[in-house]
């Protein structure tokens, strides 16, 4: 798991950009003593508002680069002909990469709780469930939730810069701020997103 002491050594542009943003916040805080901030590190966000008020509808132009949940739903709705799993030769139990998926509502609550930790130098917290889920497990959950015969294409080669397993160790925010992820069941969280997506097939 990624802990608060894990050295930040990103291997892809996305990770490097996130680290650069953190450093910019720290630099600004260092030069402005009255400025206070808190830094949250989190991973794969998914789900929708459980009450159905808000959801995610990726622009069609971004479907190729979107979240796996959005790709699953696009395949279930027939917007794309198949769902591609990129990378099946990782050193993991089923060969696909493992990630920590965090429900968007949990993430919103983490931001609200983190306001209590605003400080200079900025505090740092990992936000996550503390457990990893493989891409294949995620896809199977999506099939169950949608009830659709999603066609899955397995691509042996992984995307450049993908780690085999990345998931958070959230114990610091658990103990210091009392925040815990509430939506840790993948099928339940996907169902929130799927219900919204079915009700909004063309977005808002």
Residues marked active site are found at 14
Alpha-carbon distance of 138 to 68, in angstroms, equals 8
Asked if 120 contacts 186 with a C-beta cutoff of 8 angstroms, the reply is no
Alpha-carbon distance of 142 to 115, in angstroms, equals 34
Strand 101-103 and strand 165-166: the pairing is unpaired
Which residues in 87-196 belong to E strands, given as ranges? 98-99, 101-103, 123-127, 133-134, 152-155, 165-166
Alpha-carbon distance of 127 to 169, in angstroms, equals 8
């Amino acid at each position: 798991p990624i802990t608060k002491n894990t050295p930040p050594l990103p291997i892809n542009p996305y990770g490097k950009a996130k680290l650069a943003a953190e450093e910019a916040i720290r630099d600004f805080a260092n030069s402005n003593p009255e400025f206070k901030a808190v830094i949250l590190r989190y991973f794969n966000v998914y789900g929708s508002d459980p009450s159905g008020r808000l959801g995610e509808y990726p622009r069609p132009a971004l479907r190729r680069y979107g979240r796996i949940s959005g790709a699953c739903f696009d395949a279930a709705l027939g917007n794309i002909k198949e769902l591609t799993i990129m990378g099946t030769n990782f050193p993991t139990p089923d060969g696909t990469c493992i990630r920590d998926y965090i429900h968007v509502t949990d993430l919103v609550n983490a931001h609200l709780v983190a306001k209590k930790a605003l400080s200079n130098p900025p505090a740092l917290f990992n936000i996550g469930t503390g457990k990893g889920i493989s891409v294949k497990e995620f896809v199977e959950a999506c099939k169950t939730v949608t009830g659709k015969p999603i066609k899955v294409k397995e691509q042996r080669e992984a995307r450049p810069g993908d780690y085999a397993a990345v998931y958070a160790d959230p114990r610091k925010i658990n103990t210091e701020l009392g925040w815990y992820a509430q939506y840790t069941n993948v099928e339940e969280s996907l169902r929130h997103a799927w219900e919204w997506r079915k009700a909004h097939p063309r977005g808002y």
